[in-house]
C-alpha cells in the first residue's frame, strides 16, 4: 500500500495517462514530475530548474548532438550507396543477397552514426530495388527497419553514451560491450533472412561482374566511409581522444571527405543539415531534461529502494528470474516509450537490484541497449519501422506483421546477451 501512495508511482500513472491521450512523451513525463512538486510538495519548485539544467551539464552527453549531426551528414554524402555496392559484391549472389546487403550496410552505418533513424533514412532507397527483384514490399520494409536496429548497439552508440552518463559507467567499456551483441544480432537476423529467402525464392542480386578488379574498385569507392568507424573507435581506444571528442572528429571527418572526395553536400545545403539535426537534438534534450526531473522524484521518494526490496523478496534473490523480469519490463516499455525516456525512467530503478545481485553494470548496459534497440521495431511506437513504412509506401500494420519474425530473432539475441556473459564482456575485460 505504501508503494501505491508514493508520489513517484502516482506520477507514473499520470505519465501513462497523458501518453494515452497522445501527449508528447517529453511533455507527459515533465508534467508527471511537476505534479509531484505541486500536488505533493516534495520540494520547492525552485529545485526543478536546477535538476533540469544539471541533467544536461555533462561533457560525455555532448557526444549525442554531435553524432546526430554526423548521422545527418551520412544520409547526404552518398556513403550508404558506396557501402551497399561493396556489400553487394560480397553478398549479392546469395539467396536474399540484397536483403543481407541491407543488414550488413546497416551495421556499418550504425557504427558511423550511432543513430537508428539516420540508418533507416540512408537505406530506405533499397526498398524499391528489392521489390523489383521479387521481394514482398512488406518484407523489404521490415528488413530496412531491422537493419536500423544495429545503430544503438554497435559502437559508437548514442544509447551507450546516455546509459554511461546515467550510471557513471566507462563509455569506452560500454562501446566495447556492444561489439559482440551487435555481431550476434547480425548473424541471427542474417540467418533468418537467408532461410526465408530460400523458402520464398528471393533471388540474389544481379551484381556487376565479380572479380578482384571490381571488388577493389568497390572497396576503393567505399574506403573513406569505412575509415570513419576505424578513426572514431581507434582514437577512443588508443587514448587519442574521448568519446565526446570522437563525435566531434566524426563530424569534421565526414564534412572533409564529402568536400574533398564525395562532393554531395554544397555549402548552401549545410544550414538544412544543421536545422534537421537541431530538430532531433531539441527533442532528445527535452526528453533528457524532463526525464531527469521525474528521475529526481523517484530517487528522493525512495522508489528504487522499495522496488529493489520488493523484487528481491518475490524472486528470492534469483538473478536469472530478476534479469528475465527486467527484460520483460524493457520489452514492454520499449513498445510504448522512446528508448531515451525508458533509460532515464528504468535504469535508476534497476540499478540498486543489479548491484545487490552483483550484476556488472557494463554487462547490463549491453543487455539494455540490445533490448531497447528492438523498440524501433515494436508497435505501437516503433519509430524505425514507422519511418521505413512511410518511406517504403507500406501501411504500418502490414510492416508490423512482416517485422514479427525479426522481433522474435532479437528476443533470442537479448536472452543470449543476458545469460551468455562473454558475448558482451570479452572485449571490455581486455580494457584496463
**Tens-place pLDDT, residues 243-272:** 888 888 988 998 898 888 888 888 888 888
The residues of the chain scoring below 50 in pLDDT are: 1
pLDDT given at position 207: 56
Full-model pTM: 0.84
Query: What torsion, rounded to 10 degrees, do the Cα atoms 235, 238, 241, 245 define?
Result: 40
pLDDT given at position 205: 61
Query: Chain-wide mean pLDDT for the chain?
Result: 84
Cα angle 396, 369, 103; round to 5? 55
Instruction: Tell me if 86 sits within 8 A of 221, measured CB to CB.
Output: yes
pLDDT given at position 99: 86
Instruction: Tell me if 340 sits within 8 A of 155, measured CB to CB.
Output: no
Report whether the peptide linkage leading into residue 51 is cis, meaning its omega lies within 30 degrees of zero: no
Which burial class, exposed, middle or buried, applies to 121 when counting CB atoms under 10 A from its CB (0-12, 13-18, 19+)? buried
pLDDT given at position 14: 87
Specify the DSSP class assigned to residue 380. T
Instruction: Tell me if 103 sits within 8 A of 87, measured CB to CB.
Output: no
Which three three-digit cell numbers place residue 322?
530478476
pLDDT given at position 1: 46
Q: How far is CA 202 from CA 130, 131, 139, 196, 419, in A?
A: 9, 10, 11, 8, 34
Instruction: Tell me if 330 sits within 8 A of 346, measured CB to CB.
Output: yes
Residue with cell 520489452: 331
pLDDT given at position 71: 77
pLDDT given at position 189: 93
pLDDT given at position 416: 96
pLDDT given at position 115: 64
Specify the DSSP class assigned to residue 359. -
- Of 339, 17, 325, nearest to 148 by C-alpha is 339
Which three three-digit cell numbers place residue 240?
587519442
Which three three-digit cell numbers place residue 120?
533507416
3-state DSSP assignment of residue 324: helix
pLDDT given at position 209: 65
pLDDT given at position 296: 86
Amino acid at each position: 500500500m505504501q508503494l501505491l501512495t508514493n508520489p513517484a508511482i502516482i506520477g507514473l500513472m499520470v505519465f501513462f495517462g497523458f501518453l494515452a491521450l497522445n501527449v508528447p512523451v517529453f511533455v507527459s513525463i515533465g508534467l508527471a514530475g511537476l505534479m509531484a512538486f505541486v500536488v505533493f510538495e516534495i520540494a520547492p519548485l525552485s529545485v526543478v530548474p536546477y535538476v533540469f539544467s544539471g541533467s544536461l551539464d555533462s561533457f560525455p552527453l555532448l557526444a549525442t548532438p554531435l553524432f546526430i549531426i554526423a548521422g545527418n551528414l551520412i544520409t547526404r554524402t552518398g556513403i550508404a550507396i558506396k557501402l551497399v555496392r561493396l556489400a553487394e559484391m560480397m553478398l549479392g549472389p546469395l539467396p536474399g543477397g540484397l536483403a543481407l546487403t541491407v543488414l550488413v550496410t546497416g551495421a556499418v552505418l550504425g557504427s558511423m552514426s550511432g543513430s537508428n533513424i539516420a540508418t533507416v533514412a540512408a537505406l530506405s532507397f533499397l526498398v524499391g530495388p528489392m521489390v523489383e527483384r521479387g521481394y514482398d514490399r512488406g518484407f523489404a520494409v521490415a528488413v530496412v527497419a531491422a537493419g536500423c536496429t544495429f545503430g544503438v548497439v554497435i559502437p559508437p552508440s548514442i544509447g551507450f553514451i546516455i546509459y554511461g552518463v546515467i550510471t557513471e559507467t566507462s563509455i569506452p567499456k560500454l562501446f566495447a560491450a556492444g561489439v559482440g551483441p551487435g555481431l550476434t544480432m547480425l548473424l541471427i537476423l542474417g540467418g533468418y533472412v537467408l532461410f526465408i529467402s530460400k523458402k520464398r525464392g528471393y533471388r540474389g542480386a544481379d551484381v556487376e561482374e565479380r572479380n578482384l578488379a571490381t571488388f577493389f574498385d568497390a572497396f576503393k569507392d567505399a574506403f573513406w566511409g569505412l575509415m570513419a568507424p576505424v578513426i572514431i573507435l581507434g582514437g577512443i581506444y588508443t587514448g587519442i581522444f574521448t568519446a565526446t571528442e570522437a563525435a566531434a572528429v566524426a563530424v569534421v571527418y565526414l564534412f572533409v571527405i564529402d568536400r574533398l572526395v564525395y562532393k554531395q553536400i554544397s555549402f548552401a545545403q549545410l544550414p538544412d543539415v544543421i536545422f534537421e539535426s537541431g530538430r532531433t537534438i531539441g527533442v532528445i534534450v527535452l526528453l533528457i531534461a524532463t526525464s531527469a526531473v521525474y528521475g529526481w522524484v523517484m530517487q528522493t521518494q525512495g522508489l528504487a529502494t522499495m522496488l529493489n526490496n520488493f523484487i528481491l523478496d518475490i524472486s528470492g534473490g534469483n538473478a536469472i528470474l530478476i534479469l528475465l523480469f527486467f527484460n520483460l519490463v524493457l520489452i514492454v516499455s520499449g513498445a510504448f516509450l522512446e528508448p531515451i525516456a525508458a533509460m532515464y525512467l528504468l535504469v535508476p530503478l534497476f540499478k540498486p537490484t543489479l548491484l545487490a545481485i552483483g550484476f556488472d553494470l557494463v554487462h547490463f548496459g549491453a543487455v539494455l541497449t540490445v533490448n531497447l534497440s528492438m523498440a524501433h521495431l515494436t508497435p505501437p511506437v516503433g519509430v524505425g519501422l514507422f519511418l521505413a513504412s512511410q518511406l517504403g509506401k507500406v501501411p504500418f500494420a502490414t510492416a508490423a506483421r512482416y517485422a514479427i519474425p525479426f522481433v522474435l530473432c532479437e528476443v533470442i539475441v537479448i536472452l543470449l546477451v543476458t545469460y551468455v556473459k562473454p558475448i558482451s564482456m570479452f572485449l571490455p575485460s581486455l580494457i584496463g
